[in-house]
Amino acid sequence: MLRLARPTQTRQRESTIALINIVFLMLIFFLVAGTLTPPLDNDVSLISTIEADQSQPPDALFVTSEGEMRLRGTATDAQSFMLERVDTLGETAARELEIKVAADRELPAAKLVDIVGALKAAGASRISIITERVPQ
């Protein structure tokens, strides 16, 4: 009996194009779906707390250790800050919006109370102080 060698089946190489496409689509998805927050002001070191709810400070009003208020890196004051909010959001929404204040830990507490008072006098109704959680 004559034995013939079976032809070996060549395996088709799997294309990596499909994998590249999936990775690329995932990259685009996460870029679009991810939330981008503005960076923290470099001149402000946040107040430390041990227990606090985590929150990102988007569009926070930063206060330096000298008491200078900054919004997105530009110096401002309480009145100008509230006027900008009213122009952007409208009168009612601006007054109901929670204002997040990220104060430097070296800022004296009396100065922070004065700044919060100035924001209240300018029309702010809800003000939160952003702090940094310190591990125990």
**96 in any annotated domain:** yes
Residue 91 is part of which domain span?
47-133
**120 in any annotated domain:** yes
Q: At what angle do helices 78-89 and 109-121 cross, to 10 degrees?
A: 40
How much is the pLDDT for 60?
78
**23 in any annotated domain:** no
How much is the pLDDT for 25?
92
**15 in any annotated domain:** no
Entry pTM: 0.54
**29 in any annotated domain:** no
**93 in any annotated domain:** yes
The CA distance from 42 to 73, in Å, is 9
**123 in any annotated domain:** yes
How much is the pLDDT for 23?
92
Instruction: Give the closest residue to 62 by CA, choosing from 17, 136, 129, 108.
Output: 129
Which residues partner with 133 through β-bridges?
A: 49
Q: How many domains does the chain have?
A: 1
**71 in any annotated domain:** yes
Q: Across the chain, which distance is largest between two alpha carbons, in Å?
A: 106
Average confidence (pLDDT) per 10 residues, the chain, 136 residues: 75 80 89 68 67 60 83 82 82 79 84 87 81 68
